Amino acid sequence: MKKLLLAASLVFSAIVLQAQDNPLWLRYPTISPDGKQIAFGYKGDIYLINSAGGQAIPLTLNEAHDMMPVWSKDGKSIAFASNRYGNFDVFLVGINGGSPTRLTFNSANDYPYDFTPDNKHVLFGSARNGTTESARFHSPRIFQNLYKVKTEDGKPVLVSAAGIENASYNRDGSLLVFEDKKGYEDGWRKHHTSSVTRDIWIMDVKANTYTQVSSFEGEDRNPVFSADDKSIYFLSEKNGNQNIFQIPSSGQKNYQQLTTFQNNPVRHLTIANDNTLCFSQNGEIYTLKNGQSKKLNVKILNDGRDNLSRTEPVMGNVSEFALSPNGKEIAFINRGEVFVTSVENGQTKQITKTPQQERMVTWSPDSKSIYYSTERGKSWDIYKSTIVQKDEPYFFAATVIKDEPIIEGVSEQYQPEISPDGKEIAYIEDRNILKVYNIKGKSSRTILPKGHNHSYSDGDWSFQWSPDGKYILTDDQKGFMSRSNLAIFKADGSGNAIYPVNSGFGEYSGQWALNGKMITWASSKDGRKSLAIQGNREMDIFGIFLDQEAYDRAAMSKADFDLLKEREDRERLTPKDTANTKAKPAKQDTSKKEFVPDFSNLGNRKVKLTINSSSLGGYALNTDASKLYYLSSFESGYDLWVTDTRSRETKVLAKLSGSPSGIEMSKDGKSLFVSNRGRLVKVESESGRITPIGITGDMVVDAAAEREYIFNHAWRQVKEKFYDPKLHGVDWAMYRETYARFLPHVNNNFDFQELLSEILGELNASHTGGRYTPMISNADETAKLGLLFDETNPGEGLKVTEVIAGGPLATKKSKVKAGHLLMAIDSESITADVDWAKYLNNKKGKNTLLSFYDPTSKNKWTETIRPVGMAEENTLMYKRWIAKMEQMVDKLSGGKVGYVHVEGMNDASFRETFDVVLGKNLEKEALIVDTRFNSGGWLHDDLNTFLSGKKYLEFAPQGNRLKGGEPNVRWTKPSCVVMNEANYSDAFIFPYIYKQNGLGKLIGMPVAGTGTAVWWERQIDPTLVFGIPMIGTIGKENRTTENLQVEPDIRVPVKYESYLSGSDTQIEVAVKEMLKTIKQ
């Protein structure tokens, strides 16, 4: 339970707490109504300070994250958000101490915004279901409902289902001023001017009407009413950097700028009763009174928990591994550190101990050295670890390990592969050059120059030395990004590339086999493919023999091969075994004939090794190529399969139900090693017996040092990989210094995620920002009943307004209908004084007793159901919205116009689109393609091609013309695209090229230019990822489409009142346009 510190206990507190002057990264400051105190967040706790500055007193001290404090109107209480039960709930605490009271219990995140003027309720936002009448798209990622809840605990009451944020009341509570949210763009992005940026609105609470009061094309945010309600103060980027502005609440457009801060945005605006404004800027707290801004001098007492290290077990989180050539040890990566464990006894040794990341681990041929990539300096470099004590043969039992750089410099140098003789290292430089480094000569030579490959995500470029070290097999994109082919280069850098396959389907995961006489690869050539170009593809393993004799042996039938083996065995017998003679045996030729690969007529020596195409993971061929081992997913997860390459017998060797790991094989071929969902296992190649590889030991995690590394890593990744080498003209070095100084003041990943988002937001680019997904055990989870309620009723029970189709109560035997009241859950009564969500906590899939009452018939009854989870109900709500749109289009068009919604730019959505369009809409005369709220993927070409059909052939059996014709797998009739501000990424590219190709009209609202390809990179702390837009797209304007807004042909804004009442003006206009097109 959180302990509160009273002002009276300050003397005692000073003994146990540590003082800190000039703290930074002070977030969410809020000024008290009388203007005398400020509450703010720091390091996950809430603090109080005099508005003139001075010593801040901790109001909360808890391991959970507390943030977003809000003052009550009388200044006696503070509401705040805390994730003490897994998600963020609203809590209430008095400013003079006491235990916080939990006010909300739903496992959706709840964020407090204000108190009602009478202090009886807290206003908060939460992503929950809309109302029955509403035509609002169901998107928890975008839209929040606005609720109020009693300060003494009670049932939350719906205020608005419009989807609004940062709302606050005027003096009498008749109006709410708020900012809208239109799409998926990261909330910390800066400087963009587009349709998706936020605007300021006023809601008339009683009339439930909405009026827009700001008009700037960029960000307008965080509004508050002035003390007399005549003005609205808010934050805007109208003149560049985000500052405080003032406009009349009547909605006149004359912006008045009140602050002029540069380089860093003003955040978290609040107001006191005397119009004193409080806000944060550049990590510090300011007040603005009578036109004068003042920075607070803040001193903080904290509990000394800052940046404490912790010990974690090393098991179950293996991200990559490599078997030593002697088969005794396995090197692996866990949380960015190199470890080695014994294959036999699980004894484990930590090799590296740095906050920076190590990865891409490999062994020297003699098993005496480990090579890996590390980012310890200002670039990725290649290091080597060796055992210092000569009498210690194994890393897992070594006492002293020596680390040393082997390849370092200003370039990015990573992914070492050691030559068979241990004298050279093949590696990647700057993500687009393949080089070989001579260890003795300390010099590098280029094998594959820049211009061939682009590594999208580090580690996606495969290459391998030939067994004799004379060749390197590598991926080669040839300057294209659509596919990769295998290329063979001489390791000395001479000669030209040899492309042994050159398939239009590409070749992947190339390997040498049969001691260099064969190469193998994976290809989708013969496998089933997704309907979309991008998507899952079934693969096979193929091989090409670089030696005719080896191919001839492999091509023999089992019977012929057995005869050959018998003859060879006889020939190998010694003379004393074959004849009783004293003749002197002939002198044996002990010289080893050098193998020279035959690259001619390779197509005639190509074989397919798998008998069934499937979803493949790693694979390995044994020494004589008689057995192929591979991970394949036919059922639940990936299992280890084996195919006899001669008899073609195929079977499951080991049932793993695991992940698509790589496979390592011991030299003797008796053991196979895989990573099964982060845990290493050994599988015997004959019996299939599975033995877990023991990993023992712990590692010390210095979270603060990790965050500093991730910050620097993200900064460097942007510098190296951002799609625009000029970084949009941003002074990236300056911003690194600006934000790095906050790191000592961040002790948790919630704050760190915001810090990452703030610095990445300076790029003014889509697909940026940090993401944090905490791993919380025993978190609350509110089960879902599949019902919609009238949540405006504060009294007893919940009035059912709709039984959601497909939900737990949408059954034949259920009697529940709209108008009935849900009175109790598992015999717990639903009253005005309790948040009924607590009765559904962790009830997913469990028998739950519901008590209902019919106010018309006065009947009471119970029904037992098994509630579903949030994800399942979200799916049902999406299907419900689709049904509404289809019915609306059908009714408005008289059945002439078809409708399809493209949920995402992926294969699953394309299949659904294909199914709907060429199924129930086949005979429609025109089609509405709704792409609103589509967050992207990669489908633009498939979808445009599908809609671009032009009939060129008809069929007429016995002279009777059929309705259809060719093409019969594309739409050949008129169409239009409905889009809005929430189209993102590839859902921008699609309407952009649809318009460019002249396929039809765009209807709706402009779509921000977000047409880049992103890498969401997971960090060594697996709860953190950040995004880098790496690849730009260039259209007909001969410029990148990022920040190039696509405009509709017919602009149709949707009013809140419209979709809340069940209508959709964009769909209505689209139907009219299609009917007009049909008549033409």
pLDDT value at position 953?
96
Rounded distance, CA 601 to CA 421, Å?
30
Nearest residue to 836 (alpha-carbon basis) of 159, 127, 154: 154
Low-confidence ranges of the chain (pLDDT < 50): 1-16, 578-579, 581, 583, 586
Contact 95, 49 (CB under 8 A): no
Rounded distance, CA 532 to CA 937, Å?
11
pLDDT value at position 51?
97
Please give the full DSSP string across 887-923, using - where no structure is assigned: HHHHHHHTT-EEEEE--SBSHHHHHHHHHHHTTTTTT
Rounded distance, CA 778 to CA 801, Å?
32
State the virtual CA torsion across 982, 987, 989, 995 in degrees, nearest 10.
-80
Instruction: For CA atoms 108, 113, 117, 120, give the dihedral sign.
Output: positive
pTM of the model: 0.94
The helix (H) or strand (E) run that includes residue 405 is strand 401-407
Contact 986, 979 (CB under 8 A): no
Please give the full DSSP string across 553-608, using - where no structure is assigned: HHHS-HHHHHHHHHHHHHHTS-HHHH----PPPPPP--PPPPP----TTGGGGEEE
Nearest residue to 48 (alpha-carbon basis) of 72, 78, 14: 78
Contact 324, 330 (CB under 8 A): yes
Rounded distance, CA 1074 to CA 820, Å?
41
Contact 905, 937 (CB under 8 A): yes
603 φψ region: left (φ > 0), alpha (ψ -120 to 50), beta (else): alpha
Q: What is the DSSP letter of 872?
A: H
Residue with tokens 């699980």: 346
Contact 902, 914 (CB under 8 A): no
Contact 179, 223 (CB under 8 A): yes
Rounded distance, CA 898 to CA 891, Å?
11
Contact 661, 323 (CB under 8 A): no
Q: Which two tokens stand for residue 493?
A: 């850098």
Q: Which distant-in-sequence residues (6+ apart) come within 8 Å of 186 by Cβ? A: 757, 760, 761, 768, 769
What values do phi and psi take at 225, rounded to 5? -75, 145
Could you read off the pLDDT of 1034-1062 as tens digits, one per residue? 999 999 999 999 999 999 999 999 999 99
Instruction: For CA atoms 122, 125, 130, 135, give the dihedral sign.
Output: positive
Instruction: For CA atoms 962, 963, 964, 965, give the dihedral sign.
Output: positive
pLDDT value at position 3?
34
Contact 1065, 1055 (CB under 8 A): yes
Q: Which distant-in-sequence residues (6+ apart) come within 8 Å of 657 by Cβ? A: 635, 636, 637, 638, 639
- Dump strand ranges (E) for 450-516: 463-465, 471-476, 485-490, 508-513
Beta strands at 145-150 and 18-21: parallel, antiparallel or unpaired: unpaired
Q: Which distant-in-sequence residues (6+ apart) come within 8 Å of 537 by Cβ? A: 524, 527, 528, 529, 530
Rounded distance, CA 564 to CA 831, Å?
86
Instruction: For CA atoms 506, 510, 513, 516, give the dihedral sign.
Output: positive
pLDDT value at position 636?
86
The domains of the chain, with CATH numbers, are 7-132+139-302 (2.120.10.60), 787-868 (2.30.42.10), 874-1009+1045-1079 (3.90.226.10)
Start-to-end C-alpha separation, the chain:
71
Three-state secondary structure call for residue 886: helix
Half-sphere exposure of 363 (CA within 13 A, CB side): 22
Contact 272, 38 (CB under 8 A): no
In a 10 Å sphere around its CB, with 0-12 CB exposed, 13-18 middle and 19+ buried, how is residue 586 labelled? Answer: exposed
Nearest residue to 103 (alpha-carbon basis) of 118, 120, 122, 125: 122
Element counts in the chain: helices (H) and strands (E): 13, 71
Contact 158, 793 (CB under 8 A): no
Rounded distance, CA 411 to CA 369, Å?
24
Q: Which distant-in-sequence residues (6+ apart) come within 8 Å of 592 by Cβ? A: none
As annotated, the active-site residues are 767, 985, 1042
Contact 138, 869 (CB under 8 A): no
Which residues are bridge partners to 709 per DSSP? none
Could you read off the pLDDT of 272-320 as tens digits, one per residue? 999 999 999 999 999 999 999 999 999 997 665 665 789 999 988 899 9
Rounded distance, CA 351 to CA 763, Å?
37
Rounded distance, CA 1042 to CA 1030, Å?
11
